[in-house]
Structure 1
Amino acid sequence: MQFSTWIRQHLAALRALLVLTAITGIIYPLAVFAVAQVPGLHDKAEGSLITVDGKTVGSKLIGQSFTDKDGNALVQYFQSRPSAAGTNGYDPTATAASNLGPESIVDTLDADPTKVKLSLLSTVCARSKAIGDREGVDGARPFCTKDGVGAVLSVIGPRTAKGEVAHPIQVVSVNEACPTVPFISAYEGVKVECARPGADYSAGLIVPIFGDASVDTPVPTDAITSSGSGLDPHISPRYADIQVARIAKARNISENQVRDLVDANTSSRTLGFLGEPTVNVLRLNIDLDSRYPFRG
């Protein structure tokens, strides 16, 4: 290759580099910035931030918790959907789901409480019970014990060709650590035992027990499970509705006054047919503080 040809090729590459740098590194970012300044788009481009008395209190696109320093729900506020994003939830830099699926039904028990790992089932059961107790509704769910853990047994004994247990010789409530009294006393004539932390009961047939709770529980799904991003700022009108009585009592106002604010902060389905109606928790709580300040 002649030296002059080599120079021409490199000069062409340099010109291409400069042109693309100008387009993608200068012109395009400036164009996007200019569009973001258009009235009606500027607020969204800045993160849809919400300010109260000149102070930024959050974004209408990112959820946040309304709890005290110990993680207990503040009685005067509507509570958000659970979050698995980050250590304390709602962390936009660690957006994530729990990655637990429907087969996650057995807890990892340990003598050290900090090493206990709850299954998705027990997490759901515990949240439903806690919300039911807080809101004064029935938080019982199928496959949950009355104490709020997964109602799951390990049935140990010789197996049939189909993998069923022919004659149980030991039955353990795998999510109830000793000395807890199991949620049922016997299964197929065999006494049910509590689980010893650290013991392995995987050799048994894992059997979830449906129980006698109604499938139509007052505590909705969005109250006990996190969204895929962990940042959902909305709850369902159904979850908002079971919180109305508590809010009204805490703020010494009528339930109708609270429901009026819930309705004002409820958005209908996108384009009239996509998704479900939603309630923005942050904006609703701000309206509550503005119109009916908490005197507690």
Structure 2
Amino acid sequence: MRISSWIRQHLAALRALLVLTVITGIVYPLAVWAVALGPSLHEKAEGSIVEVNGQAVGSTLIGQLFTDADGNPLAQYFQSRPSAAGDGYDPTSTSASNLGPESILDTPADPAVLAQPGTTPEDAGFKASLLTTVCSRSQAVGQLEGVDGSRPFCTPGGVGAVLSVIGPRDSRGNVVNPTRVVSVNEPCSSDPAAPVTPFLGAYEGVKVECAEFGEDYAIGQIVPIRGDARANPAVPADAVTASGSGLDPHISQAYADLQAARVAAARDVSVDQVGAVVDDNQDGRTLGFLGEPTVNVLELNVALDQQYPVRG
């Protein structure tokens, strides 16, 4: 009797397994595939691939770089926002830097290692804070677009304007009567003939020093210096920060407007002509009310190549 009950239970389990296998392994995938073939979803289901003269040049869902072999921006193309996914827009390494607003101190490079031929700062242990990353990107974009790339809390050299103020502290932990002040993100030069001049000459009457490798400046009070840069920088935020996925194919209207003059000059057309193409490739707010209008960079650059190709 117990053997018969055991057989019935296992037969029921086997039937359930077969039914669920048919539903979840065959019926459901076929249903999803059939829906994806619909006119409104077919393009996305196929990867939203953009083709030019029969050749795939990218996807409208994934951003890409528009640079030369050395990584320099191509003047005739609108540039995407930065990417932290692999070497840039790598779908297999989608990620963000995971750095937040409190990331303001750089990890300095070892000057002894950096002095070796062919060594990059990163090879020597340098790791930029989020603040310095934003500062350097803003400076580079400003130079490319011919605008002021300065930002609050950034030095003219493109690093975070942060001081370590050392001295006795009051009951709230603030330094009073500082005895030493160090610009922690500006390392001293190993060449005596080319000394580093900190971005700020003095702080509360104390001369500001450059940072010496190997010294611990965490003992001081870390003080970001706002500087005199305007509160609303000429370089928009999406030009200097990566998206959470590192794959965002869009830029803001403000960043597109900033690049229009450079692209127009490279293509020998007017800014108004380029602006019209930008408007034609603008995506509205999500669901009509979420976020701000954006511009798909790949679609915009493809449209420019078709309407105003670079000559010569």
TM-score (norm 1): 0.97
Pick one of 261, 277, 280 that aligns with 1:264.
280
- Does structure 1 residue 254 correspond to structure 2 residue 263? no
What is the aligned partner in structure 1 of residue 193 from structure 2? none
Gaps of 5+ in 1: none
What is the aligned partner in structure 2 of residue 191 from structure 1? 207
Q: Structure 1, residues 234-256: CA drift from partner, whole Å, max 9, x if none?
A: 00111001111111111111111
Q: How many angstroms does 1:95 deviate by?
A: 1.4
Distance in 1 between the 2:43 and 2:261 partners? 34
Distance in 2 between the 1:174 and 1:127 partners? 19
What is the aligned partner in structure 1 of residue 104 from structure 2? 105
Alignment of 1:10-159 (within 5 A): 10-86=10-86, 88-110=87-109, 111=111, 112=114, 113-114=121-122, 115-159=125-169
What is the aligned partner in structure 2 of residue 239 from structure 1? 255
Q: Structure 1, residues 159-196: CA drift from partner, whole Å, max 9, x if none?
A: 22211112211111000011221001111111111112
| SS across alignment from 1:273 | coil
Distance in 2 between the 1:136 and 1:207 partners? 31
Distance in 1 between the 2:13 and 2:257 partners? 64
| SS across alignment from 2:57 | strand
What is the aligned partner in structure 1 of residue 224 from structure 2? 208
What is the aligned partner in structure 2 of residue 286 from structure 1? 302
AA aligned opposite 1:185: G
Distance in 2 between the 1:294 and 1:195 partners? 47
Distance in 1 between the 2:99 and 2:43 partners? 36
- RMSD of aligned Cα (Å): 1.1
| SS across alignment from 1:155 | strand
TM-score (norm 2): 0.92
Distance in 2 between the 1:295 and 1:151 partners? 43
Identity %: 68
| SS across alignment from 1:153 | strand
Gaps of 5+ in 2: 115-120, 190-195
Distance in 2 between the 1:198 and 1:279 partners? 46
Distance in 2 between the 1:272 and 1:6 partners? 59
What is the aligned partner in structure 2 of residue 160 from structure 1? 170
| SS across alignment from 1:176 | strand
Q: Structure 1, residues 55-102: CA drift from partner, whole Å, max 9, x if none?
A: 11111111111111222111110000111112x111112211111100
Q: Structure 1, residues 119-142: CA drift from partner, whole Å, max 9, x if none?
A: 000001101111011101111111
| SS across alignment from 1:73 | coil
